[in-house]
Each structure stands twice: as C-alpha cells, then as structure tokens.
Amino acid sequence: MVGEQNEREEALDLGPLQRALERCTEGLLLLRERPGESIIRDGVIQRFEFTYELAHKTLRRYLRMTLATPGVLEEMAFQDLIRTGYAQGLLLHSWEQWRGFRQCRTNTSHAYDEVKAQRVVESVPAFVEEVRFLLAALRRRADGAG
C-alpha cells in the first residue's frame, strides 16, 4: 500500500514514451525514403515493440495514479485496461483497434515471417497516431486542462 501511495503522489514521467515515439516516427520516415531496405523495416518493427510496451505501461501507471481504487488495475485484463483508457478519453481508438496492435506485437515475438513483418510495419503509422493522442491527453491532464 505504501508503494501504491508513493506512485500516486509522483508525477508521471512522459519522457521515455515521448522518446520512443520519436524513434518510431524517425524509423517510419526513413523507411518511406528507402522502402526496400529490410534492415530499416526491421528497425521500425523493433521501435514499434518498445513503443508499444511503454504506451500501455504508461497508461497503466496513469490509471493507477488517478483511479479511485487503483488496486483493481492489478487484476484488470489488458483489454479492460484499454477500454478504461478509451472511456476516459486517453486513447484515440477502442479495444478493437488495440487488439490489432496487440496481435502485431505478438507477431513480432515469434518466428520471423516476411508477411507478418510487413503487416506489422503497415500498422505502425496508426499506432504512432494512437501514441501521439495518448501523450497529448496525458499532458493536458498533467497541466490541469482536462
């Protein structure tokens, strides 16, 4: 309980998620310039992976800090975390879109497959928009604007 209270009192550090988003965006821009280079595509996939992990962990931290009963997060399924974030106006899209992002993340963890890699890369621009929205919403809340 003490750790939970301390986490609720600390400000949410958005820096790591912001930097991950910048790296992911940078990779996408480079891939648009050089679309046939598999090493760049693979870098975009890796950047998607860590940005995805930071996005949902940042959302979870924020909700833990702000929910009246933060302990419910410990038992909350991932889709309920996303639904809660969406209901609070923190996410651009609902669980249906995030289910696709989650499947892409799962696909990056398994045996390498050219078709799956391409599908992941195709989903990254929408994911980048989602993370931009999340960051903007969290900044507005941190500034007391909503």
The domain limits of the chain are 2-142
% of the chain surpassing 90 pLDDT = 69
Report pLDDT digits (tens) over 13-67.
999 999 999 999 999 999 999 998 999 999 999 999 999 999 999 999 999 999 8
The whole-model pTM stands at 0.87
Residue 118 to residues 51, 86, 95, 137: CA-CA distances in angstroms?
18, 27, 22, 30
CB 89 within 8 A of CB 137: yes
CB 107 within 8 A of CB 120: yes
Residue 73 to residues 5, 20, 25, 77, 95: CA-CA distances in angstroms?
14, 24, 30, 8, 16
Residue 114: per-residue pLDDT? 84
Active site residues: 105, 110
Residue 69 to residues 13, 77, 91, 99: CA-CA distances in angstroms?
21, 16, 20, 25
Report pLDDT digits (tens) over 71-91.
888 888 999 999 999 999 999
Q: Does domain 2-142 have CATH number 1.20.120.330?
A: yes
